[in-house]
């Protein structure tokens, strides 16, 4: 056997032991990298403060201190430090004025000093227009200031530098939505959601985009999903309910508004609007007592909110008069049946034969009747208008043309509201009688005892 073999073995063993010892010591020391960084940070701060004690305007010390605070995201301290450095830039050419201004601006933004951040970002952009941090942050502030066109330009430029930056895509999409570029907005919002799928604000705006793009089912799906979210839920519930009302689905709308009201953290003004729309939804569902209860609750919380006082007066009356409720809120078939009875009741002890019935949407019904008494016979056109508002002369001019068309001898216009002064003047020289709400209610009350009712 080669004698050198006996010298190699000890050398290998010694080398292995050295490597092992090095790794063990390295693990103990290297695993404490964070502690080393803390020691370095403390040393920088200690040295900077020592120098600043001798010279409070020592630019190098201020820069070292500001950079540490900035990197550690202690932005309130960084803001004060870079504010002093900005003043020194005019006399100290060794300072990078752009870097100092940008870090001051971002520190101001992160501490919600938006005015100072905006001013400094504008200055930074006058120096350099091709820096992502400048364009993104300035674009974000323009979005907050509702300068959406400016925000779009800045954020689009930032996106060219970092096309996968979530917040850039998000605020670009939200700005585009505000200026009604819904296709582009939806594209960027979808991209943002691919990066951060649980961004509720971006998702809510995407739902609004889909609605504006007439993709109502997709909008409803998103808004329904967001109803339970603690932050965006109340707004999503309000929007979803409004869409369901437009789709004539009051039961779904009521559920949306009810879910929105369960959020304890909803803003008071938003809760009032949810209650108001829920009350009106209950009216559509003919749940008058529930609607009245919500209107009265709103009135207690904020007297005079919107038209709540008049709504309370109206629905209190409706809750006590089932016939008036049918007249105003019943289905078309229920309304027509009631109008037929009113036409027969209008002339006591007369023979009334209905010749024709026509309904104009849900606004009014025309009943053409042949009326005969012991003394006269005539053709009468009844028009029963469901509105509780004042009727103007234009509606009566249209009715008068209809009276002549069907060759009726007279017309009778019945309203659950009143008639304007011009409407009353129009019928003075024409054979049209006006029946306002007070007389209508009297007739409806007579129905309860007429003909066995």
Q: Please give the C-alpha separations between residue 385 and each of 170, 363, 404, in angstroms, as whole numbers.
A: 50, 6, 19
Q: CB of 64 within 8 A of CB of 48?
A: yes
Quick one: pLDDT at residue 35? 54
Domain 326-452, second-level architecture = 3-Layer(aba) Sandwich (3.40)
Quick one: pLDDT at residue 7? 41
Quick one: pLDDT at residue 362? 86
Quick one: pLDDT at residue 32? 52
Quick one: pLDDT at residue 343? 92
Give me the DSSP letters along 376-429: -EEEEEEEEE---SEE-HHHHHHHHHHHHHTT-SEEEEEESSEE-HHHHHHTTT
Quick one: pLDDT at residue 37? 55
* Angle CA 365–370–374, to nearest 5: 135
DSSP letter at 130 equals -
Q: Which residue has the tokens 């010298």?
A: 7
Q: CB of 378 within 8 A of CB of 353?
A: no
Q: Please give the C-alpha separations between residue 193 and each of 207, 220, 222, 297, 394, in angstroms, as whole numbers.
A: 12, 18, 13, 40, 53
Can you give the pTM of this predicted structure?
0.73
Q: CB burial class (10 A; 0-12, 13-18, 19+) of residue 162? A: middle
Quick one: pLDDT at residue 450? 60
Distance between CA atoms of residues 130 and 133, nearest Å = 9
Q: At what angle do helices 182-195 and 200-212 cross, to 10 degrees?
A: 150
Quick one: pLDDT at residue 56? 76
**What is the number of residues in the chain?**
453
Q: CB of 309 within 8 A of CB of 299?
A: yes
Q: Please give the C-alpha separations between residue 48 and each of 57, 104, 112, 134, 234, in angstroms, as whole numbers.
A: 11, 19, 27, 28, 50
Element (H, E) at 366: strand 364-372
Q: CB burial class (10 A; 0-12, 13-18, 19+) of residue 235? A: buried
Q: CB of 95 within 8 A of CB of 61?
A: no
Phi, psi of 266, deg, nearest 5? -65, 145
Quick one: pLDDT at residue 317? 86
Residue extents of the structural domains in the chain: 46-323, 326-452
Q: CB burial class (10 A; 0-12, 13-18, 19+) of residue 74? A: middle
Average pLDDT per 10 consecutive residues for the chain, totaling 453 residues = 43 44 43 55 76 76 87 92 90 90 96 96 95 97 97 97 97 98 98 97 97 96 96 96 95 97 94 97 92 96 94 89 90 93 88 93 93 91 93 95 94 94 92 94 82 46
- Pairing relationship of beta strands 390-391 and 364-372 according to DSSP bridges: unpaired
Quick one: pLDDT at residue 405? 95
**How does 424-436 read in b/e, with b if 16+ C-beta sit within 10 Å?**
eebbeeeebebbb
- What six digits make up the tokens of 203? 């998702």
- Which CATH class name applies to 46-323? mainly alpha
DSSP letter at 105 equals H
Quick one: pLDDT at residue 43? 77
Distance between CA atoms of residues 181 and 216, nearest Å = 17
């Amino acid at each position: 056997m080669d004698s050198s073999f006996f010298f190699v073995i000890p050398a290998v063993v010694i080398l292995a032991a050295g490597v092992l010892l090095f790794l063990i010591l390295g693990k103990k020391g290297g695993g404490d990298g964070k502690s080393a960084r803390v020691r370095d940070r403390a040393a920088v701060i200690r040295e900077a403060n020592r120098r600043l004690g001798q010279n409070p305007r020592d630019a190098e010390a201020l820069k070292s201190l500001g950079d540490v605070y900035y990197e550690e995201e202690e932005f309130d301290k960084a803001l004060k430090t870079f504010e002093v450095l900005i003043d020194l830039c005019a006399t100290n050419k060794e300072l990078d004025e752009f870097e100092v201004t940008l870090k001051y601006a971002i520190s101001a933004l992160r501490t919600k000093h938006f005015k100072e951040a905006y001013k400094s970002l504008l200055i930074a952009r006058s120096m350099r227009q091709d820096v992502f941090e400048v364009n993104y942050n300035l674009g974000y502030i323009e979005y907050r200031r509702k300068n959406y066109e400016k925000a779009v330009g800045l954020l689009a430029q930032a996106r060219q530098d970092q096309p996968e930056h979530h917040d850039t895509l998000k605020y670009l999409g939200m700005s585009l939505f505000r200026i009604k570029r819904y296709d582009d907005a939806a594209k960027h919002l979808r991209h943002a959601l691919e990066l951060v799928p649980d961004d509720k604000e971006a998702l809510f705006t995407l739902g609004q985009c889909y609605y504006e793009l007439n993709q109502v089912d997709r909008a409803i799906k998103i808004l329904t999903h967001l109803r339970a979210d603690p932050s965006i839920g109340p707004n999503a519930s309000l929007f979803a309910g409004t869409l369901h009302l437009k789709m004539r689905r009051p039961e779904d709308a009521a559920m949306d508004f009810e879910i929105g009201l369960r959020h304890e953290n909803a803003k008071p003004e938003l809760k009032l609007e949810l209650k108001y729309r829920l009350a009106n939804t209950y009216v559509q569902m003919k749940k008058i007592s529930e609607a009245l209860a919500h209107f009265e609750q709103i009135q207690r919380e904020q007297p005079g909110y919107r038209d709540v006082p008049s709504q309370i007066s109206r629905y209190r009356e409706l809750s006590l008069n089932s016939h008036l409720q049918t007249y105003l809120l019943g289905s078309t078939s229920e309304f027509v049946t009631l109008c037929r009875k009113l036409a027969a009741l209008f002339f006591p002890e007369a023979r009334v034969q209905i010749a024709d019935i026509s309904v104009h949407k849900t606004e009014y019904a025309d009943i053409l009747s042949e009326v005969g008494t012991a003394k006269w016979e005539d053709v009468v056109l009844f028009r029963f208008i469901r509105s509780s508002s004042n009727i103007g002369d234009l509606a009566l001019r249209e009715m008068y043309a209809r009276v002549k068309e069907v060759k009726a001898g007279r017309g009778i216009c019945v309203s659950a509201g009143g008639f304007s002064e011009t409407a009353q003047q129009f019928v003075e020289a024409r054979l049209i009688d006006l029946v306002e709400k007070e007389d209508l209610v009297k007739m409806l009350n007579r129905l309860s005892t007429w003909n066995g009712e």
